[in-house]
Every structure is written in structure tokens, then in C-alpha cells.
Amino acid sequence: MTEYHGSCHCGKVRFSFESAPIEKGIRCNCSICARKGALMSPDPLPEEALKIEAPDDALVLYQFGARTAKHFFCRHCGIYPFHETARKAGHYRVNLGCVDGVDTFALPFDVFDGKHLL
């Protein structure tokens, strides 16, 4: 297992987690993910595995449609660091672009068809 650390652009939202070495990412084609263009962690992390450090006012929640997925953004810089998945409540994917030492332009990725998720 590898320990990873990450943050939003301004550093007010910080997070860490352990996972197998990150060798690929995942992209989603749903309306919000297609627009934000983030490369996400390939495996969902259980809530207890994602350690978040942020002042109470730093994280903003955005939901749409069925309101099952929870997309979090930094109130100060607008960066999306992670979201709680629609398919697996209590599990998160992180924006690999926010993870220290991960080159998202060098990683292969799979595509998840969130556009047609019921």
C-alpha cells in the first residue's frame, strides 16, 4: 500500500489515503464529470480511508439530478478534490490532479458510463 496526500489549489482542503500504487485513473461521462474533466482514482475509497482536513467553511457540496452523488469543491479556490459516489454510498473517488506526485497526463484511464446510470 502507498500513502498519498493531496489538496485543493489554495491548500485549505487537504486529504490523504492509502491505496495500491496508482497506475491508472477513471473518467466519467456524466454531465458534471465531462465538464470538470477530472481524472479520478480508479477504486472507490471507503469513507474511513479518506482523511480530510479542512476548516468547516472550506468544503461546498454540489448535487444534481437524483442527488445521490456528492461533489465537493473548495469554497476558496473552486477546485474539486473528491466526491462521494452515486453507485456506492459512503465511498469516495479523489481527483488525481489534486494528489501530490501523480502525473495525470501520464496515466492510462478507463471510462465509466455515468451518463446512462439510472
Q: Where are the domains of the chain?
A: 2-116
Chain segment 4-59, per-residue pLDDT in tens = 999 999 999 999 999 999 999 999 998 888 999 999 999 999 999 999 999 999 99
Question: pTM (2 decimals)?
Answer: 0.92
14 CB burial (10 A radius; 0-12, 13-18, 19+): middle
Beta bridge mates, 2? 19
> Which residues pair with residue 72 across a beta bridge?
61, 82
| Topology adopted by domain 2-116 | 2.170.150
Phi and psi at 96, nearest 5°, equal -65, -20
CB 50 within 8 A of CB 92: yes
